[in-house]
Amino acid sequence: MNRVRTERTLNLPIRTGRLVLREFVQSDFDAIHAYSSDPRVTKYLFFGPRDRDSTADYLEGLLASQEELPRTRFELAVEETLSGRVVGACDLSLIERNVVDLGYMLAMAEWGKGYATEIALALVDAAFFDLRADRIISTVDVNNRASIRVLEKIGMRWEAVFRKHRRAKNRWWDCHLFVLPREVWELANTRTD
């Protein structure tokens, strides 16, 4: 019996009101290093701050991931439309057959502008439309109030706390699990009030 392999892919670039979410390219190195070497940006992330060598390794790995078949990781550059500057990164990762993990990070100078919410809303639509997800998840450090607010704003619901979810940066991390099932998203997008 031959199985038909249905590859899932994103229709790129993804455009929002103020941003373009696109594939990273080699020339994005300096922008990536600028935000990922900032300890304030990486405070609630499992990595960083990155030095130039670890930034180069990271970029090499994500460029290689663009060629994987089937592709399970879509890590994208966040580019401001008006300036053309790369101001962060975002990603959708297929972690199970129909479950997609959502994430994002922004340069500190871009905090407070609503970009994270704009990115997350665009990624949710892409995960359900393009990747045909049944469920989107996101884990966030229990102390990262700003990201918790973003996830709540886009309709994700708190589901659990993972105690000692992961060991990184010489400590155990407690993380909230937020979830958005397809049914909830579809209901929210069909209201006519």
**CATH number, position 114:** 3.40.630.30
In a domain, 19, yes or no: yes
Looking only at the bridges linking them, the beta strands covering 14-15 and 19-23 are antiparallel
Rg of the chain in Å (alpha carbons): 17
Q: For the chain, how many structural domains are there in total? A: 1
In a domain, 5, yes or no: no
In a domain, 140, yes or no: yes
In a domain, 155, yes or no: yes
In a domain, 1, yes or no: no
In a domain, 193, yes or no: no
Is the pLDDT at 66 greater than 70? The verdict is yes
Predicted confidence at residue 44, as pLDDT, reads 86
In a domain, 7, yes or no: no
Predicted confidence at residue 168, as pLDDT, reads 66
Task: Spell out the SS3 assignment of the chain.
Answer: CCCCCCCCCCCCCEECCCEEEEECCHHHHHHHHHHHCCCCCCCCCCCCCCCHHHHHHHHHHHHHHCCCCCCCEEEEEEEECCCCCEEEEEEEEEEECCEEEEEEEECHHHCCCCHHHHHHHHHHHHHHHCCCCCEEEEEEECCCHHHHHHHHHCCCEEEEEEEEEEEECCEEEEEEEEEEEHHHHHHHCCCCC
In a domain, 84, yes or no: yes
Residues of the domain holding 181? 14-188
Q: What is the mean pLDDT of residues 46-58?
A: 93
The pTM (predicted TM-score) of the whole model is 0.91
Predicted confidence at residue 1, as pLDDT, reads 46
